[in-house]
A and B are shown apart, each in its own frame.
Chain A
Amino acid sequence: MAVFFHMGGYALYVWGSYGVMAVLLVAELVLLSRRNKSLVARLRSLREMEKDAE
């Protein structure tokens, strides 16, 4: 296991690449799902205000 993480002395470079790649992909998905949730919530509350005004 230690041998695996050591990556033949290239641990920083291999994990620095795979790690950042994973962080980028997950971060984009998290940001997108947040954007979607807050957008739907905002549009819903705008809609409620419209209904109340009617």
Chain B
Amino acid sequence: MAINWFKYASPATFYPLAGRMLPWFVWTTVVLMAVGVYMGLFLAPTDYKQGEAYRIMFIHVPAAWMSMWLYVVMAVYAAIGLIYKTRLSSMMAAATAPTGALFAFAALWTGAFWGRPMWGAWWVWDARLTSELILLFLYLGVMALRSAIDEPGRADRASGLLALVGVVNVPIIYFSVKWWNTLHQGASLKFSGSAMAPSMLWPMLVLTFAFWSYSFVTILLRVRCEILERERHADWVIDLLDNGPSGNRGR
């Protein structure tokens, strides 16, 4: 059976679909966060070298992964928007950037709070840290460029192009610990297997899925705002405002 994917590329179809998906992601996020934090703070044993400070890794690593992953997601949406001129793709790219920036900031912040007791410094100009900082600036640049241009089509193209150019930074972050022999440690989790004990690996994985699900929540919420703002003159939005799901104002 062929599914007509282009049907879901229409803002009018996607707006209610996103609304129906939201509660599922909200509950998934709440459950995974609770389980992940419980495992990370209560079940995982104390590390013999780093003491309790290593528990920061359970949020640091997932935040760093999400910051990179969301950048790729944003760049792919931007590329589809540039090539096929689908409005929804550009709106999705716009909706992804702030959450990606949040995770990039969180990765840097939690990294500093781990680095201070472990390395003796909040910040060092290590290749991994510097490329992650550049990632944060790329997110902020994409957002600033978009909001600086009034005409939506031009804003989509300019910020989409910046997002695409910046994607080169993602492999640099990933391989930085291999290419430059600086302070940041190498990956504990590789495709070939894990160097971590299961009791320490699971909280990290659960919180990764929690952050992933959280990103769905914020991106879907934000894209619904983007759709309403940009399609406000469309018939379906006017219909929604007049007699929408929560729109029966007793008249």
Residue among B117, B225, B242 making CB contact with A10, cutoff 8 Å? B117
Residue among A14, A25, A47 making CB contact with B238, cutoff 8 Å? A47
Check A10 against B110 for contact (C-beta < 8 Å). no
Interface residue ranges, A against B (CB under 8 Å): 4, 7-10, 12-14, 16-18, 20-21, 24-25, 28-29, 32-33, 35-36, 39-40, 43-44, 46-47
B74 interfacial by beta-carbon distance below 8 Å: no
Whole-angstrom distance from the CB of A32 to the nearest CB of chain B? 5
In this complex, the member of B41, B46, B217, B241 whose beta carbon has the largest number of chain A beta carbons within 10 angstroms is: B241
Question: Could you count the A-B residue pairs with CB atoms below 8 Å apart for me: how many are there?
Answer: 84
Check B51 against A10 for contact (C-beta < 8 Å). yes
User: In the bound complex, how far is the Cα of B110 from the Cα of A4, in angstroms?
Assistant: 19
User: In the bound complex, how far is the Cα of B218 from the Cα of A17, in angstroms?
Assistant: 21
Given contacts A14-B53, A21-B63, contact A28 B241 (CB under 8 A): no
Whole-angstrom distance from the CB of A52 to the nearest CB of chain B? 13
In the complex, 15 of the A-B residue pairs with CB atoms within 8 angstroms, ordered by the A residue number, are: A8-B46, A9-B52, A13-B53, A13-B56, A13-B113, A14-B53, A17-B60, A20-B109, A21-B110, A25-B214, A28-B98, A28-B99, A35-B225, A36-B221, A43-B228
Write out the residue numbers on chain B whose beta carbons fall within 8 Å of the beta carbon of A18: 37, 41, 56, 59
